[in-house]
Structure 1
Amino acid sequence: MHALIVVAHPDPQSLTHRVAAHLAEGVTLSDAGHSVEFADLAAEGFDPRFTAADFALHLRKGVLPADVAAEQARVDRADALVLVYPVYWWSMPGLIKGWIDRVFTNGWAY
C-alpha cells in the first residue's frame, strides 16, 4: 500500500508535523511495509485560493492548472490518503480546505 500524507501547517516543528512523521515512521505504516509520500502544502507553497480559473474548470470550461494536475497525480498514486492538520475554530485551516477545493475537481473526484 502507498499512502499520501498531506500536511497543512506552516511550522515544520509543529505537533501537526510530528504527528505526520510518527504516522509515517511508526508501526502504522512503514513498519508494516507500506510506502509513504509527503505533501507538505505550506513548505511547497501550494496556493489554496479558488480563483476564476478554478471555477471555470468546475464548469468544465477551463484548463486544468499544472499545480492541480500535479496534486491529482499524487493522489492517483496513493492507495490511502491521510490528511494531517490542526483544528482551527472547529474546522480545518484554509490551506487544506483550499487544497481539497482545488484538487478534488468536477470530473475527477466526482
Structure 2
Amino acid sequence: MNVLLVYAHPEPKSLNGSLKDFSVKRLEDAGHVVQVSDLYAMKWKAPLDAHDSTDRRTVERFDPSIESKHAFENGLQSEDIAREQDKLRWADALILQFPLWWFSMPAILKGWVERVYAYGFAYGVGEHSDARWGDRYGEGTLTGKRAMLIVTAGGWESHYGARGINGPMDDILFPIQHGILYYPGFDVLPPFVTYRTGRVDEAKFTGICDALGQRLDDLWKTEPIPFRPQNAGAYEIPELTLRADIAPERSGFAAHIA
C-alpha cells in the first residue's frame, strides 16, 4: 500500500522526529511505499493567498474560493499545491503527525490543509439539491482512503480525559478528524496520542514505539471511527441537522458518531 505521512515539527531530533523515522521504517519493513511531506524541511508556505494561482481570474479583489476553483479547474495552481494533491491521489492512507500546540495543529500544517484542499479537490464537490448537499462527510474525492493522526501532547492523559481541565482529547481532535479528514471522504482511524512528552525516557520511548508499531501494522485492519455519513439518511437536508429520532439523547460532537 502507499502511505503519505505529512509531518509538522521543526526539530528533527525531537520526539516527533524519532517517531516519524520509526513509522517510516516500520511501514517500509512491512512492504508499504512511504512518502513524507516534512513541512518545515520543505519550507512550506503556510498562508493561503493570491500567489497560489499562476494566473488569477480577477485582480481587483481576492476571493479565496473563486480563485481556488479557477486555479484547480484550469491547471493554474502553484507547483507545491499540485504536487501535494498528487501525493494524496497516490496514497492509500494518510498520516498527519504533529505536536498539539494550543489545542490544535501547528500553523504550518493548517496551512497545508488550507492550500492543498482546493475547491473542486476537497470541497465544492458533488450535487447540491434537496436530496444531497455535496459529496462530503463520508463521500468525496478521497473516499476509500484511510487516515490517522499521530499526536504528541505535553500534558497528562488525565488532563485530556472526560472530566479533565483541557477537555476530552476526542473533542479537541474532532474538528481535524471529522472536519478535515472525514469531510473529503477519508475513513478516519482512532488517533495515536502520546502524553507527557517532556517525560519520555528510553523505557517509555520503547513502549511508545511498541504501541505505535502495532497501530501501523493494523492500519488496514483497524475499524474507523463510526462518523455518521451526511447523505445516508441521518440528516435533514438542506438543514443538515440530525433527524429527531437519531440519538435524541445526545448533542454536540458525540451525536455525530454512531
Look up the match of 1:108: 121
Look up the match of 2:22: 22
CA contact (8 A) 1:57 1:64 kept: no
Is 1:41 aligned to 2:39, yes or no?
yes
CA contact (8 A) 2:5 2:97 kept: yes
Look up the match of 1:69: 82
Residues paired across the two proteins, number: 108
Alpha-carbon separation, structure 2, partners of 1:92 and 1:14: 16
Q: Which amino acid aligns with 2:34?
A: V
Pick the aligned partner of 1:78 from 59, 80, 91: 91
Q: Deviations over 1:20-46 (max 9, x none)?
A: 1111212xx223211111111100111
SS in 2 for 1:107: coil
Two-structure CA RMSD over aligned residues (Å): 1.7
Shift in Å at residue 74 of structure 1?
1.4
Look up the match of 1:58: 65
SS in 2 for 1:85: strand
SS in 2 for 1:92: coil
TM-score (norm 1): 0.88
SS in 2 for 1:89: coil
More helix, by proportion? 1
Alpha-carbon separation, structure 1, partners of 2:35 and 2:79: 19
In the TM superposition, structure 1's runs of 4+ consecutive aligned residues that sit over 6 Å from their partners are: none
Q: Deviations over 1:75-108 (max 9, x none)?
A: 1111111011111011100000000110011101
Q: Which amino acid aligns with 1:98?
A: G
Question: Percent of aligned pairs with the same residue?
Answer: 40
Look up the match of 2:3: 3
SS in 2 for 1:44: coil
Segments of 5+ residues of structure 1 without an aligned counterpart are: none
Alpha-carbon separation, structure 2, partners of 1:103 and 1:64: 10
Q: Which has the larger radius of gyration?
A: 2
Alpha-carbon separation, structure 1, partners of 2:64 and 2:86: 17
Alpha-carbon separation, structure 1, partners of 2:17 and 2:65: 32
SS in 2 for 1:91: coil
Alpha-carbon separation, structure 2, partners of 1:30 and 1:61: 38
SS in 1 for 2:82: helix
CA contact (8 A) 2:49 2:64 kept: no
CA contact (8 A) 1:3 1:82 kept: yes
